[in-house]
Structure 1
């Protein structure tokens, strides 16, 4: 959920530009940013605009101005470097921009810049056709920025096969028990009682100083402010699991171990946290297999997944090499090659049941290496088609694990589009998908291209263990059919953080928030039932309000703003938005509010 400082700069420059007369914006921004390269002081005109930020009400006009401003800013940055600016000059330049256009303060600004500068300079120096158009079209696709020279790459997908009737021995066996964990975001520096309302992108650490008032003091078990999770909350949870649940058959961990202190990560600290979590999983689950995937926070710098042909100084190859070692606790030896190539793998768990674990973080638009090369990074989607084709021939059913969910608005449009096509093609054998990243309890439903009322695939997002931001921690258990490996039902568990923090000497009181079938009135979890649920959601405000409450596990801060008719329309739209373009359209919904009928 981190966005590179260099991308944040452009977004805030847009907000500045809205204060000025529209047709003057390109010149003002261009001149102001260029002047910053050579002066210690911020131009008065630019500075006054920062203090009087307003937004343009017309969304299309606002996006157009944003994209024009973004393109000019990044062209200036590229030209400055290629005109001879050295590393120190570029650092100083970015420091000025960060302090002017963000509210992160000097510590976070300097931290982000020092961590990311070498990657940024490598891309500028070596991507000869890099332009402001390309930067903005990739980094800010949600603003509908376009690059007229963008390559529309594709992945070859074979035509549908005539599905052979593979013989399955249908038997009444107890369902498989699946535990789904995601987004721990372990913070080694968390300190109860510290300032939870600091002026940095992550708080609740000793360095944040004392709180200004009691309500801003970091809670013992966690906090609803911009804070992550202490180690003892995690170990208390794993102890609870072993004491209160019968053995699981398998465990999915869908990414993000590292905290949101992204301006101060180091490779060594990330390695330490990753190893600590996976050792805990091994100790907790013993012989139960764990199937982990990478999150966008695992590498250093955060979000960056480099190609394989760059210098060790800026390469993130170490992440893949580390995972090949750590995951060997649970995975067969033949997964090592693809893990080292790009952090993805496949495992035949049982006869006719396959897991495909993706590194979808490569599509996240905060991954600046997309500016260098966005064409199916690591050949992963090409590999996915090959794996699914082979699975189809053998009559296997497949679970796909992926950190970035389908329809994530910040997943590169082209990657998102090609993944959607792959799922549509192989929907009959992909019986479920499992995601994390957004920290939201949510669904994604794939619709038939020829009949939008027909559901053909489903992705489940389990939420997060971290409280970041305003959420109650959670975990999820599924019952999996042993005949076709579809989800039969799931239970969502959580605890009330406010209540837990009232007594640090008492363990949090976990409880079942809901069961999927019961909560949504489902006869079963077939695609027809999910289509019926979606239809009922369009008419039943109470059902949508429940979906909204469940997203943050009914935490008081998450529910405080409520969910208007417009909010409900966006949430409902997002359920079937399985491409970035569709998600962007959902965000732009403006529904006339009517009095809700409950």
Structure 2
């Protein structure tokens, strides 16, 4: 999960106001130009603009709203770029952004100033050095879910080798030995500033900290073990999890950690604080799991600024190369020396766990549209997808089976469309050797199924999202264990563990009561986890409302607030659609599903 970068959130706030501020569509461009131009010299907002905020809800047609949104984005971005290129210095740009943020965003002055101070150097670097930067490019990337387009976008591709003859493909038989036990942890979002009893309903993008002051009422007091409000994870909750894992499970053969260590306090991060949090968690993992092989990957929150992964050829002032340098050092306790080169190059690596079993760990955060560096360079950042093809090609030749670890799950709506389409193409080509994907990021317990592009009734690949340990926002903490066949490397089943945060917080002197929420096969009536069974499952889900209500509850780990919000028929249809949405374009289509009319 991300708190989007300053420029994106500023636009999201300002544009919706502008769009609603007119009674006729033809007035929109002039209103925008006038208002943005005035904000460079004044803080005053016209009465018409103020009144327009109240008209926002009247724009109900999504297609019309998206069109106006994208049109307005073009005009706002044109003002920003032109102001800088007309000679505005850094101080002038900071002052301009402060007016925009304080006028239209709801974070308050502290968060506004924090985002601006952290991100301004990157914003100005991109405007100054990407000479062909266009408003269409910015809006198409920043507001991809709104279907904004760039007619001049470069449709880059990743070359694939021809398919090998299937008759020569080796299919290992299922092992009679005990399955491998794999622990999947993800999205801890450790908050060093978490303060039990502090205000959990504050006016900045992350609460439950001493600086948020006392709560206005008892129900807004941050819980001891965590909180359902906009809050992250205290250290004592993380150490309790480690103790529980050692006590409740004899041993694990492998551990996957799929990213996001740093908290959501993105307007106030520093490089040093991020480094400290990352080192503390990895040291705890090392102490807890000792010699057990652990395979970590980066999340979008590890760098500073949040979400930003810079190209390798930018100046040191705005470069995020330090995060790769840090990971190369921290991960060497678990990974072989030969992984160092690709970790330093882009935060990704591959390991042959044992003969015929390969793990590929990706840095998919580069595709996240809040990664502002996509505006500077978006064509296969770090040549990672090209490298992925090369690794898979050799793995196929050597008869290996592959697990792919990736923070951003397939089909994430905020992953660059071109990246997701190329990744999907790679998975389609190498589906016979890619046994499973393991993801995080969304904080949701999710299943993603790849369909055969020539036969949509046929499932050819599967991705598992293990939810999150953080409660951000409204979730119960969780972890997951998989039974993996020792020969085929297929997931035979998994168990999902959680505890009820409400009950846990009622007695802070007692450890939380962990329990198994469900087992995959039992919960969904599966004979096995073959692609044929998963094909049958998605068919049953599309017809069975009760089954999908269960899927909805499990997404939030049966938490009290998540379950209370409910999921109507339109919501359920979007959930079903999302299970087979493995490209961003498909996820956008799922979100645009309308309520059925009679």
Residue aligning to 2:66: 63
Indicate conservation of the 8 Å contact 1:566/1:593, yes or no. no
Q: 1:229 maps to which residue?
A: 233
2:565 counterpart SS class: coil
**Residue 473 in structure 1 maps to residue 474 in structure 2:** no
Tell me what 1:571 maps to.
575
How does 1:42-61 map onto structure 2 within 5 Å? 42-50=45-53, 52-61=55-64
Using the TM superposition, name which of 1-10 and 434-443 deviates more.
1-10
Hey, what's the Cα distance between the residues in 2 that align with 1:3 and 1:291? 27
Q: CA deviation at 1:170?
A: 5.6
Matched-pair contact (CA < 8 Å) for 2:140–2:148: yes
Runs of at least 5 residues in structure 1 that lack an aligned partner in the other structure: none
Shift in Å, 1:322: 0.2
| Pairwise CA distance, 1:167 | 7.6
Q: 1:389 aligns with which of 393, 396, 399?
A: 393
2:332 to 328, 338, 350: 328
Which residue of 2 is the match for residue 357 of structure 1? 361
Q: Is the 8 A contact 2:20 2:53 kept in 1?
A: no
Provide the residue aligned with 1:136 in structure 2.
139
**Within the alignment, does 1:109 sit opposite 2:112 as a pair?**
yes
Q: Distance in 2 between matches of 1:409 and 1:162?
A: 34
Q: Do the aligned partners of residues 54 and 171 (structure 1) sit closer, same or farther apart at CA in structure 2, a change above 3 Å counting?
A: closer
2: distance between equivalents of 1:9 and 1:340? 33
* Alignment partner of 1:178 is 2:182: yes
Cα deviation digits, residues 52-78 of structure 1 (max 9, x gap): 533411111111100010010001000
SS in 2 for 1:178: strand
Q: Does 1:150 align with 2:153?
A: yes
* 1:559 match: 563
Aligned residue number for residue 8 of structure 1: 9
Instruction: For residues 521-577 of structure 1, give each alpha carbon's deviation from its aligned partner in whole angstroms, at most 9, with x where no partner exists.
Output: 000000000000110111111100000000000001001121111111000000000
Alignment match, 1:314: 318
Of 308-317 and 271-280, deviating more is 308-317
Residues 313-363 of structure 1, C-alpha deviations (whole Å, 9 max, x = no match): 110000000000000000000000000000000000010000000000000
SS of residue paired to 1:538: helix
1:592 match: 596
Report the counterpart of residue 93 of structure 1 in structure 2. Answer: 96
State the 1:228 CA deviation.
Answer: 0.2
2:79 to 76, 80, 85: 76
Whole-angstrom distance in 2 between the partners of 1:186 and 1:153: 37
- The TM-score normalised by the length of structure 2 is 0.98
2:518 to 503, 514, 520: 514
1:580 & 1:167 partners in 2: Cα distance? 32
Distance 2:422 2:517 in 1: 35
State yes or no: 1:258 paired with 2:259: no
Cα offset for 1:430? Answer: 0.2
From 484, 488, 497, the counterpart of 1:484:
488
- Distance (whole Å) between structure 2 residues aligned to residue 366 and residue 83 of structure 1: 26
Classify the secondary structure of the residue corresponding to 1:222. Answer: coil
Determine which of 283, 303, 319 is the counterpart of 1:279: 283
Which of residues 119, 123, 133 is equivalent to 1:120? 123
Partner of 1:20: 22
**What are the within-5 Å matches in structure 2 for residues 492-511 of structure 1?**
492-511=496-515
Q: How much does 1:23 deviate?
A: 1.4
Q: TM-score when scaled to structure 1? A: 0.98
Question: 1:370: Cα distance to partner?
Answer: 0.1
Residues 170 and 45 of structure 1, relative CA distance in 2, 3 Å threshold: closer
How much has 1:171 moved relative to structure 2? 4.0
What SS does structure 2 have at the residue aligned with 1:574? helix
- 3-state SS of the aligned residue for 2:44? coil
Shift of 1:13: 2.2
Q: Measure, in 1, the Cα distance between the counterparts of 2:463 and 2:179.
A: 19
CA displacement at 1:42 relative to structure 2: 3.4
Q: Deviations over 1:372-417 (max 9, x none)?
A: 0000000000000000000000010000000000010000000000
Residues in 2 aligned to 1:165 and 1:112: alpha-carbon distance in whole angstroms: 52
Q: Which residue matches 2:421?
A: 417
Cα separation, 2, equivalents of 1:379 and 1:125: 24
Q: Distance in 2 between matches of 1:561 and 1:469?
A: 13
The whole-number CA distance in structure 2 between the counterparts of 1:491 and 1:227 is 26
- Contact 1:35-1:43 at 8 Å conserved across structures: no
Among 183, 189, 192, which residue is 2:193 paired with? 189
- CA contact 1:13–1:70 (8 Å) conserved in 2: no
Matched, 1:296 2:300: yes
Contact 1:257 1:297 in 2 (8 A): yes
Taking structure 1 as reference, are residues 170 and 527 closer, same or farther at Cα in structure 2, changes over 3 Å only? closer
Q: Distance in 2 between matches of 1:218 and 1:545?
A: 29
Q: What's the offset of the Cα at 1:291? A: 0.2
1: CA distance between counterparts of 2:79 and 2:51? 21
- Summarize the Cα distance change of 1:128–1:221 in structure 2 as closer, same or farther, 3 Å threshold: same
Query: Is the contact made by 2:475 and 2:557 (CA closer than 8 Å) also made in structure 1?
Result: yes
Query: Are the aligned partners of 2:175 and 2:488 in contact in 1 as well (CA < 8 Å)?
Result: no
Contact 2:199 2:207 in 1 (8 A): yes
Question: 1:260 offset after TM fit, Å?
Answer: 0.2
SS of equivalent to 2:72? helix
Superposition RMSD on alpha carbons, in Å?
A: 1.1
Distance 2:65 2:434 in 1: 40
Preserved CA contact (<8 Å) 1:564 1:593? no
8 Å CA contact 2:14, 2:105 repeated in 1:
no
The aligned counterpart of 2:434 is 430
Runs (4 or more) in structure 1 with deviation over 6 Å come to none
| In structure 2, distance between residues paired with 1:270 and 1:577 | 33
- Counterpart among 31, 35, 38 of residue 38 in structure 2: 35
Output one character per residue of 1:145-192: Cα deviation in whole Å (capped at 9) or x when no partner.
Answer: 011111100000111111324384764111000000000000000000
What is the SS of the residue equivalent to 1:491?
A: strand
Q: Distance in 2 between matches of 1:170 and 1:506?
A: 43
- Structure 2 distance, partners of 1:50, 1:126, is 36
- CA distance, structure 1, for counterparts of residue 63 and residue 556 of structure 2: 31
Q: Paired residue for 1:372?
A: 376
The alignment partner of 2:300 has SS state of coil
Shift of 1:19: 3.3
